């Protein structure tokens, strides 16, 4: 079967619906995940099929058509996804940010997930604009309406420009401080502890047929890194896999994964680094790249 016929789903949070305090994180329900896997157990790629996909060319030797992928190295992937996949003897690809695994501190991108999950984008945009005024950050200097609309076609204009400014334009230090101060105002009794997979989780998952891939050492768009920085980020990941004795399949998912999140210069570094397959987070056009790039469907569409 041709590789383009594989339907790849992308998951982030997978949580128990009874766990109400966390339900505001835009999560996929774990009971629903179980029934999805159960219903499609003969169609979801096993470890053997995924290895086949990662080592062969465009034609792959399987009738199975559904590939499951999990981004950001979240603890949920051990607690829910892995537990369920293992019980069906199935597998998935888990894309991790090694810095978050090593240090365990909650990343700005996940603080943003928490905030818009809890208070909604509309209110969050107002809060961000207010906080920028307090901190004397001229956020409007970082607006780029055209690219923002391309990157976030499903969002309102106000939301898209703020998202783009935060994810792509603001300097990391300013962005982290801005999001941090809003997060600590709204976090309530939310526990940051055990937000990510531990090294032990990764070891156990890997020993039981789960596959790990690159998602950047830090969760920042590759397009905002120069060649040296991207090389360094990938090298950190490679060393992490080597130290942990985790097989490196040369597969990655672009952090953020929208059309603005990577560029031609990045692709050159990736191919030189031995990466041979990359996933995006949506359905934008990926022709004209020397690297094999596959589209994904967000699990919200299930």
Q: How far is CA 47 from CA 17, 210, 275, in A?
A: 28, 7, 19
CB of 213 to Zn ion, least distance (A): 12
User: Which residue's CB is nearer to Zn ion, number 72 or number 201?
Assistant: 72
User: Which residue's CB is nearer to Zn ion, number 64 or number 296?
Assistant: 296
CB of 172 to Zn ion, least distance (A): 16
User: Which residue's CB is nearer to Zn ion, number 139 or number 195?
Assistant: 195
Q: Which of residues 203-232 bind Zn ion (CB under 5 A)?
A: none
Residue number, nearest CB to Zn ion? 71
Stretch that binds Zn ion, among 64-72, 75-83, 137-145, 243-251 (CB under 5 A): 64-72
**Cα-based torsion angle of the residue sequence 122, 283, 28, 175 in order, rounded to the nearest 10 degrees:** -50
Q: CA 196, CA 293: separation in Å to the nearest integer?
A: 26
User: Which residue's CB is nearer to Zn ion, number 49 or number 252?
Assistant: 252
CB of 219 to Zn ion, least distance (A): 6
User: Which residue's CB is nearer to Zn ion, number 72 or number 80?
Assistant: 72
CB of 179 to Zn ion, least distance (A): 15
Residues 116-131: b if buried by 16+ CB within 10 A, e if exposed? bbbeebeebbeebeeb
Q: Which of residues 65-104 bind Zn ion (CB under 5 A)?
A: 71-72
User: Which residue's CB is nearer to Zn ion, number 74 or number 132?
Assistant: 74
CB of 289 to Zn ion, least distance (A): 20
3-state secondary structure 17-74: CCCHHHCCCCCEEHHHHHHHHHHCCCCECCHHHHHHHHHCCCECCCCCCEEEEEECCE
Burial environment of residue 207 by CB neighbours within 10 A (0 to 12, 13 to 18, 19 or more): exposed
Nearest to 280 by CA among 290, 293, 299: 293
CB of 230 to Zn ion, least distance (A): 16
Cβ atoms of 52 and 6 within 8 Å: the answer is: no
Residues touching Zn ion, count (CB under 5 A): 2
Binding positions for Zn ion, rule: CB under 5 A: 71-72
């Amino acid at each position: 079967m041709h590789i383009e016929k594989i339907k790849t789903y992308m998951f982030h949070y997978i949580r128990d619906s009874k766990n109400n305090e966390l339900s505001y994180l835009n999560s996929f329900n774990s009971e629903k995940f179980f029934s999805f896997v159960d219903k499609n157990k003969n169609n979801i790629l096993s470890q053997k099929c995924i290895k086949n996909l990662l080592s062969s060319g465009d034609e792959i030797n399987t009738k199975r058509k559904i590939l499951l992928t999990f981004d950001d190295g979240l603890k949920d992937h051990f607690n829910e996804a892995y537990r369920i996949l293992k019980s069906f003897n199935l597998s998935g690809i888990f894309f991790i940010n090694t810095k978050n695994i090593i240090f365990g501190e909650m990343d700005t991108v996940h603080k943003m997930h928490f905030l818009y999950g809890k208070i909604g984008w509309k209110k969050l945009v107002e809060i961000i604009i207010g906080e920028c005024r307090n901190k004397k950050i001229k956020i409007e200097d970082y607006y780029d309406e055209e690219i923002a609309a391309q990157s976030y076609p499903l969002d309102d204009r106000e939301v898209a420009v703020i998202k783009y400014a935060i994810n792509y334009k603001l300097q990391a230090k300013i962005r982290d401080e801005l999001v941090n101060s809003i997060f600590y105002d709204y976090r309530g009794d939310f526990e940051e502890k055990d937000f990510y997979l531990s090294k032990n989780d990764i070891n156990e998952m890997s020993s039981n047929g789960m596959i790990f891939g690159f998602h950047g050492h830090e969760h920042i768009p590759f397009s905002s890194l120069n060649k040296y920085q991207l090389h360094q980020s990938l090298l950190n990941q490679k060393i992490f896999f080597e130290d942990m004795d985790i097989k490196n399949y040369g597969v990655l998912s672009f952090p953020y994964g929208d059309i603005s999140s990577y560029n031609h210069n990045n692709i050159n570094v990736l191919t030189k680094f031995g990466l041979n397959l990359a996933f995006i987070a949506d359905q934008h056009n990926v022709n004209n790249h020397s690297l094999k790039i596959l589209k994904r469907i967000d699990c919200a569409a299930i």
